[in-house]
């Protein structure tokens, strides 16, 4: 079993239903801009959590990102608003349908495989600074 690569981002654990995942946390503008760009792979139950600090209407894209991803847009109460599949190396915008505080990127199809849908609750967000 290959060791997980060392991350330049802090890692936090989140829980969705019975599933616990370890995700890298992108909180600053620079961290959110870089995201998962240039990565060649993402472990099975790993991802990246984008914390926007305050609720907003947000959009994600895949410029310089080679891994196919799915993104869940999550409101400030931890409820998934919508989930979008994103194709690598595109600048097509994938947007939240409502105001959200977080976006969670996982390998494409991960949410569907785990039967996680809009309305699912995510727990374990880090406390605000």
Q: Which pTM was predicted?
A: 0.93
Burial string for 68-100 (b: 16+ CB within 10 Å, else e) reads ebbbbbbbeebebbbbbebeeeeeeebebeeeb
Per-residue pLDDT band for 127 (boundaries 50, 70, 90) equals confident
Is the pLDDT reported for residue 4 higher than 90?
no
Closest CA to 64 of 44, 89, 46, 45: 89
Q: Are 100 and 55 in contact (CB under 8 A)?
A: yes
Which CATH number applies to 26-122: 2.60.120.10, 2.60.120.1140, 1.20.120.1200, 3.30.70.1450?
Answer: 2.60.120.1140
Average pLDDT, the chain: 93
Interval 24-70: pLDDT, tens: 999 999 999 999 999 999 999 999 999 999 999 999 999 999 999 99
Beta bridge partners of 80: 74
Domain boundaries, the chain: 26-122
């Amino acid at each position: 079993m290959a060791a997980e690569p060392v991350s330049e981002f802090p890692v936090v654990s989140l829980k969705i239903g019975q599933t616990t995942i370890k995700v890298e946390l992108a909180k600053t503008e620079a961290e959110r801009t870089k995201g998962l760009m240039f990565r060649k792979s993402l472990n099975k139950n790993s991802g990246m959590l984008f914390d926007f600090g305050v609720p907003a209407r947000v959009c994600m894209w895949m410029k310089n990102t080679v891994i196919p991803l799915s993104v869940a847009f999550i409101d400030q109460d931890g409820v998934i608003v919508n989930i979008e599949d994103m194709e690598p190396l595109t600048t097509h915008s994938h947007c939240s349908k409502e105001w959200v505080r977080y976006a969670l990127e996982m390998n494409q199809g991960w949410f569907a495989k785990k039967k996680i849908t809009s309305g699912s609750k995510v727990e374990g967000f880090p406390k605000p600074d």
